[in-house]
Amino acid sequence: MISINLLQVFLWAFRRRERDVVNLYNSLSPLMQLATDNNMLNFGYWKNNPADPLGAQNELCKLIGDISDLDSANIVIDVGSGFSAPATYWKSQYGNINITCINTNFQQLVLSTKLVGNNISDMKENLYALLQTDDIRFVNATSTSLPISASSVDRVIALESAQHFRPLSQFIRESKKVLKNNGILIIAIPVTKIPSKLASFMKLGILLLTWASEHYSLDHVKTTIINEGFHIDEIQSIGPYVYEPLTDYYIKNRKYLREEILKKYPSYLENILYKSLLKMKQVSQKGIIDYVLIKCRPNDISQ
Protein backbone atom coordinates (compact mmCIF):
# COMPACT_ATOMS: atom_id res chain seq x y z
CA MET A 1 0.00 0.00 0.00
CA ILE A 2 1.38 3.42 -0.93
CA SER A 3 1.02 5.77 2.01
CA ILE A 4 -0.28 9.19 1.08
CA ASN A 5 -0.27 12.29 3.24
CA LEU A 6 -3.20 14.12 1.67
CA LEU A 7 -2.33 17.44 3.27
CA GLN A 8 1.16 17.24 1.85
CA VAL A 9 -0.22 16.33 -1.59
CA PHE A 10 -2.49 19.38 -1.51
CA LEU A 11 0.45 21.54 -0.42
CA TRP A 12 2.53 20.28 -3.37
CA ALA A 13 -0.41 20.81 -5.73
CA PHE A 14 -0.98 24.31 -4.40
CA ARG A 15 2.67 25.42 -4.32
CA ARG A 16 3.83 23.62 -7.50
CA ARG A 17 7.55 24.32 -7.24
CA GLU A 18 9.66 21.98 -9.37
CA ARG A 19 10.44 19.78 -6.38
CA ASP A 20 6.72 19.69 -5.49
CA VAL A 21 5.85 18.52 -9.01
CA VAL A 22 8.49 15.77 -8.77
CA ASN A 23 7.04 14.67 -5.40
CA LEU A 24 3.50 14.71 -6.79
CA TYR A 25 4.46 12.45 -9.68
CA ASN A 26 6.44 10.11 -7.46
CA SER A 27 3.39 9.70 -5.20
CA LEU A 28 0.64 9.61 -7.81
CA SER A 29 2.08 8.23 -11.08
CA PRO A 30 1.40 4.64 -9.94
CA LEU A 31 -2.27 5.65 -9.64
CA MET A 32 -2.26 6.70 -13.29
CA GLN A 33 -0.34 3.57 -14.25
CA LEU A 34 -2.89 1.38 -12.45
CA ALA A 35 -5.83 3.21 -14.03
CA THR A 36 -4.39 2.89 -17.54
CA ASP A 37 -2.40 -0.34 -17.14
CA ASN A 38 0.67 1.10 -18.90
CA ASN A 39 3.45 3.65 -18.56
CA MET A 40 2.19 6.59 -20.55
CA LEU A 41 1.23 9.59 -18.45
CA ASN A 42 -1.14 11.37 -20.83
CA PHE A 43 -4.91 11.36 -21.35
CA GLY A 44 -4.83 9.95 -24.88
CA TYR A 45 -6.81 10.74 -28.04
CA TRP A 46 -10.03 8.74 -28.23
CA LYS A 47 -11.48 9.85 -31.57
CA ASN A 48 -11.37 6.46 -33.32
CA ASN A 49 -12.81 4.51 -30.38
CA PRO A 50 -9.62 2.81 -29.20
CA ALA A 51 -10.19 -0.23 -27.00
CA ASP A 52 -8.25 1.04 -24.00
CA PRO A 53 -6.08 3.88 -22.66
CA LEU A 54 -2.92 2.56 -24.29
CA GLY A 55 -4.68 2.55 -27.67
CA ALA A 56 -5.75 6.16 -27.08
CA GLN A 57 -2.29 7.20 -25.88
CA ASN A 58 -0.64 5.62 -28.91
CA GLU A 59 -3.15 7.52 -31.06
CA LEU A 60 -2.13 10.77 -29.36
CA CYS A 61 1.54 9.98 -29.98
CA LYS A 62 0.70 9.17 -33.61
CA LEU A 63 -1.15 12.48 -34.01
CA ILE A 64 1.83 14.34 -32.56
CA GLY A 65 4.24 12.41 -34.79
CA ASP A 66 2.17 13.44 -37.82
CA ILE A 67 1.73 17.09 -36.85
CA SER A 68 5.46 17.28 -35.99
CA ASP A 69 6.51 15.94 -39.40
CA LEU A 70 8.77 13.51 -37.57
CA ASP A 71 9.46 11.65 -40.80
CA SER A 72 11.60 14.60 -41.91
CA ALA A 73 13.30 15.13 -38.54
CA ASN A 74 16.58 13.89 -37.15
CA ILE A 75 17.35 15.45 -33.76
CA VAL A 76 14.32 15.51 -31.44
CA ILE A 77 13.96 16.47 -27.79
CA ASP A 78 10.95 15.43 -25.71
CA VAL A 79 10.63 17.81 -22.78
CA GLY A 80 8.67 16.40 -19.85
CA SER A 81 9.10 12.87 -21.07
CA GLY A 82 7.46 10.85 -18.28
CA PHE A 83 8.53 7.21 -18.47
CA SER A 84 9.64 7.75 -22.09
CA ALA A 85 6.79 5.65 -23.45
CA PRO A 86 5.98 8.35 -26.07
CA ALA A 87 9.67 8.53 -27.08
CA THR A 88 9.72 4.76 -27.42
CA TYR A 89 6.62 4.94 -29.60
CA TRP A 90 8.12 7.65 -31.86
CA LYS A 91 11.43 5.79 -32.11
CA SER A 92 9.54 2.65 -33.19
CA GLN A 93 7.68 4.58 -35.91
CA TYR A 94 10.47 6.88 -37.08
CA GLY A 95 13.69 4.87 -36.84
CA ASN A 96 15.63 7.81 -38.28
CA ILE A 97 15.19 10.04 -35.26
CA ASN A 98 17.72 10.61 -32.52
CA ILE A 99 15.64 11.39 -29.46
CA THR A 100 16.55 12.86 -26.08
CA CYS A 101 14.12 12.71 -23.16
CA ILE A 102 14.37 15.66 -20.79
CA ASN A 103 12.71 15.46 -17.41
CA THR A 104 13.08 17.05 -13.98
CA ASN A 105 12.10 13.73 -12.46
CA PHE A 106 15.24 11.60 -12.09
CA GLN A 107 13.28 8.61 -10.77
CA GLN A 108 11.15 8.56 -13.93
CA LEU A 109 14.28 8.69 -16.09
CA VAL A 110 15.90 5.80 -14.25
CA LEU A 111 12.77 3.72 -14.71
CA SER A 112 12.67 4.81 -18.36
CA THR A 113 16.11 3.33 -18.99
CA LYS A 114 14.85 0.02 -17.60
CA LEU A 115 11.72 0.13 -19.74
CA VAL A 116 13.52 1.16 -22.92
CA GLY A 117 16.46 -1.22 -22.51
CA ASN A 118 19.17 -2.15 -20.07
CA ASN A 119 22.10 -1.15 -22.19
CA ILE A 120 23.01 1.96 -20.26
CA SER A 121 26.34 3.18 -21.51
CA ASP A 122 26.86 6.30 -19.47
CA MET A 123 25.59 7.74 -16.23
CA LYS A 124 26.76 10.88 -14.49
CA GLU A 125 25.03 12.34 -11.53
CA ASN A 126 26.42 15.83 -11.18
CA LEU A 127 24.75 18.95 -12.51
CA TYR A 128 22.81 17.13 -15.20
CA ALA A 129 22.41 13.41 -15.06
CA LEU A 130 22.87 11.81 -18.42
CA LEU A 131 21.77 8.28 -19.09
CA GLN A 132 21.50 6.62 -22.39
CA THR A 133 20.48 3.44 -24.08
CA ASP A 134 21.34 2.61 -27.66
CA ASP A 135 18.15 4.24 -28.88
CA ILE A 136 17.24 7.08 -26.54
CA ARG A 137 19.16 9.52 -24.36
CA PHE A 138 17.85 10.72 -21.00
CA VAL A 139 18.74 14.06 -19.46
CA ASN A 140 17.71 15.15 -15.98
CA ALA A 141 17.08 18.85 -16.47
CA THR A 142 14.35 21.44 -16.43
CA SER A 143 12.38 22.85 -19.33
CA THR A 144 13.41 26.38 -18.45
CA SER A 145 17.14 25.70 -18.79
CA LEU A 146 17.76 23.16 -21.53
CA PRO A 147 21.33 21.81 -21.53
CA ILE A 148 21.32 21.45 -25.30
CA SER A 149 23.50 23.23 -27.88
CA ALA A 150 22.02 26.26 -29.60
CA SER A 151 20.51 25.72 -33.07
CA SER A 152 21.00 21.95 -32.91
CA VAL A 153 17.49 20.49 -32.74
CA ASP A 154 14.89 19.76 -35.44
CA ARG A 155 11.90 19.27 -33.13
CA VAL A 156 11.04 20.23 -29.57
CA ILE A 157 8.04 18.26 -28.31
CA ALA A 158 6.21 18.88 -25.04
CA LEU A 159 3.48 16.26 -24.70
CA GLU A 160 1.15 17.12 -21.82
CA SER A 161 3.99 18.62 -19.83
CA ALA A 162 4.10 22.36 -20.62
CA GLN A 163 1.20 22.96 -18.20
CA HIS A 164 3.89 22.49 -15.50
CA PHE A 165 6.53 24.76 -17.02
CA ARG A 166 6.90 28.10 -15.37
CA PRO A 167 7.37 30.60 -16.53
CA LEU A 168 6.07 29.19 -19.81
CA SER A 169 7.82 32.06 -21.64
CA GLN A 170 11.22 30.80 -20.45
CA PHE A 171 10.56 27.35 -21.92
CA ILE A 172 9.50 28.89 -25.24
CA ARG A 173 12.66 31.05 -25.22
CA GLU A 174 14.83 28.00 -24.54
CA SER A 175 13.07 26.11 -27.33
CA LYS A 176 13.82 28.96 -29.73
CA LYS A 177 17.47 28.87 -28.65
CA VAL A 178 17.96 25.13 -29.26
CA LEU A 179 15.87 24.84 -32.44
CA LYS A 180 17.47 25.09 -35.85
CA ASN A 181 16.06 27.88 -38.03
CA ASN A 182 13.68 25.51 -39.76
CA GLY A 183 12.85 23.59 -36.59
CA ILE A 184 9.39 23.05 -35.12
CA LEU A 185 8.02 23.34 -31.59
CA ILE A 186 4.98 21.17 -30.79
CA ILE A 187 3.04 21.56 -27.58
CA ALA A 188 0.14 19.32 -26.53
CA ILE A 189 -1.42 20.96 -23.51
CA PRO A 190 -4.61 21.06 -21.41
CA VAL A 191 -5.81 24.67 -21.28
CA THR A 192 -8.66 26.71 -19.92
CA LYS A 193 -10.75 28.62 -22.42
CA ILE A 194 -11.45 31.42 -19.94
CA PRO A 195 -8.80 34.16 -19.99
CA SER A 196 -9.66 35.40 -16.49
CA LYS A 197 -7.88 33.42 -13.78
CA LEU A 198 -10.57 34.31 -11.26
CA ALA A 199 -13.41 33.15 -13.50
CA SER A 200 -11.72 29.82 -14.23
CA PHE A 201 -10.96 29.50 -10.50
CA MET A 202 -14.70 29.70 -9.83
CA LYS A 203 -15.60 27.06 -12.42
CA LEU A 204 -13.02 24.32 -11.98
CA GLY A 205 -14.30 22.97 -8.66
CA ILE A 206 -12.37 19.90 -7.47
CA LEU A 207 -9.98 20.27 -10.43
CA LEU A 208 -8.46 23.26 -8.70
CA LEU A 209 -6.92 20.71 -6.34
CA THR A 210 -6.45 17.72 -8.59
CA TRP A 211 -5.38 19.42 -11.83
CA ALA A 212 -2.03 19.97 -10.17
CA SER A 213 -0.39 22.30 -12.64
CA GLU A 214 -0.67 25.85 -13.93
CA HIS A 215 -4.08 26.46 -15.46
CA TYR A 216 -2.86 28.32 -18.52
CA SER A 217 -5.53 29.75 -20.76
CA LEU A 218 -5.29 29.15 -24.51
CA ASP A 219 -4.96 32.92 -25.03
CA HIS A 220 -2.03 33.05 -22.63
CA VAL A 221 -0.26 30.15 -24.36
CA LYS A 222 -0.78 31.67 -27.81
CA THR A 223 0.31 35.14 -26.75
CA THR A 224 3.41 33.77 -25.03
CA ILE A 225 4.44 31.76 -28.09
CA ILE A 226 4.02 34.78 -30.36
CA ASN A 227 5.76 37.19 -27.97
CA GLU A 228 8.76 34.85 -27.83
CA GLY A 229 9.28 35.07 -31.60
CA PHE A 230 7.36 32.14 -33.05
CA HIS A 231 4.53 32.03 -35.50
CA ILE A 232 1.78 29.49 -35.06
CA ASP A 233 1.27 27.17 -38.03
CA GLU A 234 -1.59 25.14 -36.65
CA ILE A 235 -3.76 24.65 -33.59
CA GLN A 236 -5.92 21.55 -33.18
CA SER A 237 -8.56 21.61 -30.43
CA ILE A 238 -9.14 18.02 -29.40
CA GLY A 239 -10.73 18.42 -25.95
CA PRO A 240 -13.95 16.56 -26.87
CA TYR A 241 -11.85 13.57 -27.99
CA VAL A 242 -9.87 13.57 -24.75
CA TYR A 243 -11.76 14.31 -21.54
CA GLU A 244 -15.22 12.95 -22.30
CA PRO A 245 -14.30 9.54 -23.74
CA LEU A 246 -11.60 9.08 -21.09
CA THR A 247 -14.19 9.69 -18.36
CA ASP A 248 -16.69 7.39 -20.08
CA TYR A 249 -14.04 4.66 -20.24
CA TYR A 250 -13.39 5.04 -16.53
CA ILE A 251 -17.10 4.98 -15.65
CA LYS A 252 -17.61 1.85 -17.75
CA ASN A 253 -14.67 0.02 -16.21
CA ARG A 254 -14.79 1.55 -12.77
CA LYS A 255 -15.49 -1.64 -10.85
CA TYR A 256 -12.37 -3.39 -12.14
CA LEU A 257 -10.17 -0.27 -12.09
CA ARG A 258 -11.24 0.59 -8.56
CA GLU A 259 -10.26 -2.90 -7.38
CA GLU A 260 -6.85 -2.49 -9.01
CA ILE A 261 -6.33 0.95 -7.49
CA LEU A 262 -7.38 -0.21 -4.00
CA LYS A 263 -4.54 -2.74 -4.03
CA LYS A 264 -2.16 0.19 -3.65
CA TYR A 265 -4.14 3.28 -2.62
CA PRO A 266 -6.83 4.09 -0.04
CA SER A 267 -10.40 4.22 -1.37
CA TYR A 268 -10.85 7.95 -0.78
CA LEU A 269 -8.15 8.56 -3.39
CA GLU A 270 -10.05 6.56 -6.00
CA ASN A 271 -13.13 8.62 -5.11
CA ILE A 272 -11.21 11.84 -5.67
CA LEU A 273 -9.98 10.49 -9.03
CA TYR A 274 -13.53 9.52 -10.04
CA LYS A 275 -15.02 12.89 -9.04
CA SER A 276 -12.20 14.72 -10.85
CA LEU A 277 -12.89 12.79 -14.04
CA LEU A 278 -16.61 13.58 -13.83
CA LYS A 279 -15.79 17.25 -13.33
CA MET A 280 -13.33 17.17 -16.20
CA LYS A 281 -16.00 15.80 -18.52
CA GLN A 282 -18.50 18.41 -17.34
CA VAL A 283 -16.18 21.42 -17.77
CA SER A 284 -15.03 20.11 -21.13
CA GLN A 285 -18.64 19.82 -22.33
CA LYS A 286 -19.28 23.37 -21.13
CA GLY A 287 -16.27 24.60 -23.12
CA ILE A 288 -14.39 25.71 -19.99
CA ILE A 289 -11.36 23.52 -20.69
CA ASP A 290 -9.83 22.21 -23.89
CA TYR A 291 -6.82 20.21 -24.98
CA VAL A 292 -4.82 21.69 -27.81
CA LEU A 293 -1.98 20.71 -30.08
CA ILE A 294 0.04 23.71 -31.17
CA LYS A 295 2.61 23.62 -33.95
CA CYS A 296 4.88 26.64 -34.31
CA ARG A 297 8.12 27.74 -35.90
CA PRO A 298 10.70 30.39 -35.09
CA ASN A 299 10.02 33.64 -36.98
CA ASP A 300 13.45 34.34 -38.35
CA ILE A 301 13.66 31.45 -40.79
CA SER A 302 16.61 31.99 -43.12
CA GLN A 303 16.10 29.65 -46.03
Ligand X SMILES: C[S@@+](CC[C@H](N)C(=O)[O-])C[C@H]1O[C@@H](n2cnc3c(N)ncnc32)[C@H](O)[C@@H]1O
**Positions in the binding site for ligand X (CB under 6 A):** 18, 21, 25, 40-42, 79-82, 85-86, 102-105, 108, 142-143, 159-161, 164-165
CB atoms inside a 10 Å sphere around CB 300: 8
Are residues 294 and 186 in contact, defined by beta-carbon separation less than 8 angstroms? Answer: yes
Residue number, nearest CB to ligand X = 82
Rounded Cα gap, residues 3 and 5, in angstroms: 7
Rounded Cα gap, residues 36 and 192, in angstroms: 24
* Strand pairing category for 136-140 and 123-125: unpaired
Measure Cα distances from 64 to 92, 130, 173, 180 in Å.
14, 25, 21, 19
In angstroms, what is the minimal distance from the CB of 245 to ligand X? 17
In angstroms, what is the minimal distance from the CB of 41 to ligand X? 4
In angstroms, what is the minimal distance from the CB of 136 to ligand X? 13
Rounded Cα gap, residues 290 and 242, in angstroms: 9
Look at the alpha carbons of 137, 143, 149, 155 in this order and tell me if their dihedral is positive or negative: positive
Q: Which is nearer to ligand X, 100 or 105 (CB)?
A: 105
CA angle 93, 225, 221 (to 5 degrees): 90
Task: For residue 108, give the 3-state DSSP assignment.
Answer: helix
In angstroms, what is the minimal distance from the CB of 90 to ligand X? 11
Q: Which is nearer to ligand X, 52 or 259 (CB)?
A: 52
Q: Which is nearer to ligand X, 177 or 262 (CB)?
A: 177
Q: Which is nearer to ligand X, 81 or 192 (CB)?
A: 81
Q: Which is nearer to ligand X, 75 or 212 (CB)?
A: 212
Q: Which is nearer to ligand X, 168 or 194 (CB)?
A: 168
In angstroms, what is the minimal distance from the CB of 300 to ligand X? 26
In angstroms, what is the minimal distance from the CB of 275 to ligand X? 20
